[in-house]
Each structure stands twice: as C-alpha cells, then as structure tokens.
Structure 1
Amino acid sequence: MSVSGYAVLAEGVVKRYREKGGGEKRALDGFDLAVRPGSVHGLLGPNGAGKTTAVRVLATLLRFDGGRAEVAGLDVGREARRVRGRIGLTGQYAAVDEVLTGRQNLEMFGRLFHLGGRRARQRAGELLERFDLVEAADRGAGEYSGGMRRRLDLAASMVLSPDVLFLDEPTTGLDPRGRGEVWNAVRALVAGGTTVLLTTQYLDEADRLASHITVIDRGRAIADDTPDGLKNRVGGDRIEVVVADAGDLPDAVRAVERVAAGGLVVTDAAARRAHAQVADRVAALTEVARALQDDGIAVEDIGLRRPSLDDVFLRLTGHGTETTGTETTGTETTGTETTGTETHDDASEAAA
C-alpha cells in the first residue's frame, strides 16, 4: 500500500503519441486518479477518452511521458518489474486457449508464472473452485459459454493473488447471464481484499459494482465521486406524470408545481408528460397523486425518477457513452526518444 493510503494513484500523468501527419496527440493529458484499497473503482468515459491507455500505463504496458503513478505502493515508472508482480490484468476479450481444458489453462498460467508443477496444479484447483468452474474443469475451454470463459480469464489473472486487478471492459459482448456471472466473481474478489480498477461503457455495470467512479474525457479526469454523488450533480429526485388525455396536461402541471423545487416544471406536450425536481420525494408523490385523483385526471404513469449515470455523462461531457470516436494511430514518443509505431486502440473501445 502506498504511503498515500491509495492502492492506485496517478497524478498529472501524460501520454503522448506522434500522429502520422507529424503532429502530437495526447491520449492522457494530466490524468489524475486515486483508488482506495479493497474497492471497485470505475473508470468511465466515451470512446477515445483514454481509459485503455490509462490502464496500460498503470499496468506498465506503456511508458508515460509526464506526471507520476503508483500501484500497490510501487512507483510505476521506476519499479515496473515489481509492479507486475503485484497486479493482474484482464483485457476486453478472454485470453484463454480454447483447445486446452479449463484446468490445463490455469496450470499453464501457473507454470508461466514460475510456480512449479505441483504448486501450479494446486493453484489451478483453488481457482477453479473459487470461480465455480470445478464441474467444467476438464472440458475444453472452447465449449465454455461466454460468461464461463470470462470467469476462467479472471481466474488466470488471479494466479499470483494480485493486490490490484485491472479489468478493461470485462463483460463486452456477454449476454445478461454472462455479465451477472462476471459481476458475482468480481464481488467475491473484492470481498477477499483485492482492489479492482474497472473500465466499462455499461453504466449499469459501474452503478452495480463500483463504490467510486472517475469520469475521464479527452485524457483528463473531469469528475470523481460515488455513483450517488455524481447523480446528485445533475439534480436530485424528480416526480414525473404522464396523463392519458393531452387536454389534462395543464391540470397535471399545476399539481406538480405545488411540490416542485423552485416551482420549475418541465413539460413535453407530445409525450403528455410533466416532471419537476422535488425535495421530499415521498411527500411529493403522495400529494400529486391525491391532487390528480381529486380532480378526476386519468394518469397513464406516475412515479419518482432518479438521475442515471447516462444523465451524468450527458451533463459532464456533452455526449453519451455511445459516441463513436477515433483516435489517430501514430508513433509513440517518450520524451525525445522515438520507440517505434504504437497501436493505440482506445478508439476501438466500442460499446457492445
């Protein structure tokens, strides 16, 4: 653990790429991040925002050009080899050998990590049990469902019991059942003390798993808070009424005005809808429902709504998470040293 008390810390991190036309692109432009130990921390942003670049820098796969970063109390720039011994990394697609069985995959990873034959077999058995793969242990991984392959991939990343696990869009392409299986596995890891940094474009995933979220856009962190804290930035609870008859909308507006914070009611005539922010959600719902009933107004829908992380994205970035951006692939530069052509795939962070 860092003296700062954080499992992952980034301060003013810069990562530059040389564009094909000769210009410079900053994938990270003064990026800051602080992740508390034993938590799931979400890193959210639209396509091309710098999420995958940030993970690769912190996981020592890319050198950075400025700022400082620590993982598990170790300096990423100066102690990269030691950092690699304390982390696990799972990318956007399961990196398992589909010809080998689940057990053989894990034993292979154990040997690659120099555990020795006996310890590799022992560790494989422990992980198969931990990730609920015992029954499928001796089946070829190619026969696994998407969710099972991702769990096997997670198990492989845990062979060395890392302090910090980086998950880069771990449920991309999975069906709801597969996503649920991965979520349960992640929760179990955190319950066991692992710190997880999760990048995702599924906002419900971040909402369900992360206790803290950093929003990144154009290579910089533009917000950092709990999911509820971020939602409160775009306003609190609101009451929403949809009337059955468009002619009753003015009466519904008057009923909602009585409970609206600041008296502001937003209407959508085409949808026959009126809504407003409220301070006391339960009292507001009760009062509006009673007023509409007393006036004999037929209601198609009435309820309390909370802001979503989609609303947060729209407010903070000016666009949602489904924006399809592209970042120019270029030549990586580290200071004045050119190290060759680097494929930069933040642009391929496409939402499923």
Structure 2
Amino acid sequence: MSSFKPLVFSGVQPTGNLHLGNYLGALRNFVALQASHDCIYCVVDMHSLTATLVHDDLVDQTRSITAAFLASGIDPKKHIVFNQSRVPQHAELAWIFNCVARIGWMNRMTQFKDKAGKDRENASLGLLAYPSLMAADILVYRATHVPVGDDQKQHLELTRDIAQKFNNDFSARIAELGYGTEMKVGEEVVNGFFPLTEPLIEGPATRVMSLRDGTKKMSKSDPSDLARINLTDDADAIARKIKKAKTDPEPLPSELQGLENRPEAQNLVGIYAALAECSREDVIAEFGGQQFSVFKPALAELAVEKLSPIAAEMRRIQADPAYIDGILRDGGERAGALAEETMKKVHEIVGLLTN
C-alpha cells in the first residue's frame, strides 16, 4: 500500500512573549522531531488577526517567534521556517475549506466559545472560521503529523474531518485524475488526496500551568508576569519567579499519588521532570518529603541552566533583523513551491480553471 510521505507541520502565533509552557509543550518537541521527520515550522501571523485586527508590533513579534525557533535549535536549512503570510496558498485553501466545513462544526469549537465569550455576535468571522485556516496550514503541505498540546486536539480532529469530507466529496474526481493515495481509515483502506493528519503529544509537561494558579494554563496574556517564565527572562528573573511561585504548606509527597488535589505542587514537579527529561516519579524519589524551600532552589537552578542559553541566543539573533528576514524569505520560497504543487492539483480536483 502506498502512503503519504511523513511530514511534520506546526505553527506558533506571534502574539506576546513565548514562555516556558511554549518551550516544553512545543518548541523542544519541534527540535527533537527534526531528527526523525522532515519538518515545516511556521509563524502563523495571519492567525493573530482573528482576535485583534490592528497590531502595532506584528513585524517585531513575528521576528521574535522566529528567533525563538532558531535559538531553541530548529535548523532552517535542513527544514523550513517561514511566516504564513508569505505563502498565499494558505488563505486560498482556507476558502475552499470554508466551503467544505459545516457551520455546526465551527460552532462546536471550544476555543471559539472561550474567546468569543457571551458576545458571540460581535466576534469576527475570522475567529469563527480560523480552524479552516489552521486545516489549510497543515494540509496545503499534506502534512501527516502535527505536534499539538491538549488544547489543540479538537482543531486537529476538525482538520481530519475536513480532509475526509473533501476526499469523500471529490472521490470520483481524485480517482479520475490519479491524485489519490491509499490510507487506512479504521479497518478500511481508502484512496484520498489529503491525509488524515495524526497528533503528536509527547513529554511529561505538555500542559504547563500558571506559577500563580495551578488550575490555569500558563499564558502569554496573563496580566501578571509572575505567572509565567518568559523565554527572554534572564537568570535573576527566572529564579525570582520560581521563588515566588504559589505552593501549599505541605512537603512534597513520597509517592506520586500524593500530588492529587495539589495543583501547584503537581505543576512544579511536572516542570522539573520536563526540564530534567525524567519522570515525575524520579522527581518524587529525589525530593519526596522535602519542603518547597529545598525544592524551589533546585528547580530554579535547573531552569536557569536550561533556559538562559536560549534567552541569550534569542537576544543575539533579534539584534540582526535582516538575518531573520532572510531566513523567513528563504523558507517562504521553499514552502510556497510545495504549497503551489498542492494547489495546482486542488484546482483540478475542484474544477477551478487556472492554467
């Protein structure tokens, strides 16, 4: 059975400073995946328009995210790094997917409900439809895998739904043109143009929580800077934020089950495990029974060791915006060639006369 060539795609919005959660939940996995897959990593600047249309610093934010990619260890020569707006095929395929997807699918998206809140009628159409653009980001390259956090799994499921409906709606045309690739859907082998992209969720801390509230996800938009460790923080800032991180009065438990109903303790143990690349059980074995006055300095030392070199490299790269722009320009040209290859076939499948 022929199959799609393994290819990883992922994107990061250029809104606010990247933080520890972005690094542990995304960037570090991006770097690791380079050893086993061809990878395309994108700064999704068009997505940043969905919640806030007017940005004073979108160009700088785009360069900052690119600098974080590079400082973390992503290789822009062996793989592709670019910003989304350089490749217009993303928006073109998104329109076709808007016509494939159903309004009911979009209305069920949890993130739309959260971001639109009670004033749904005043939300932008882009906020409602952006999962179609996300699907287009992935499928314009016919990517087979996407590293995602737990909060993005629903969007990837929608991407699979869109791909499957497109494949079903145009099955006869895909077969006639010979553009199908065999793949398994459940127990059935089918022939489709777009793959049913699989999620990659890895690591002991894929969901890093706020340092001020262990029940909330660490966020770029949190009003308190003490709630997160930014990738640009220096050693003193990292140590200060961990020292001030909210905890409870009990010592760390001697068994993992003892972390239940202790969200702040659970979060800090998870962060230590992820940074040390060990299990939570290993952390408990080393620090069980110890007070946070012992554990926090050890965590701060580890975080500074792992994150300070990235912050320093980010500052070095950001001092040369022409270098960053050159990386994005080269990546955009390479990504655009791949996207155009897909779109030429999509035009034929759908019946758009463009040649």
TM norm structure 2: 0.28
More strand by share: 1
More helix by share: 2
TM norm structure 1: 0.28
The structure with the larger Rg is 1
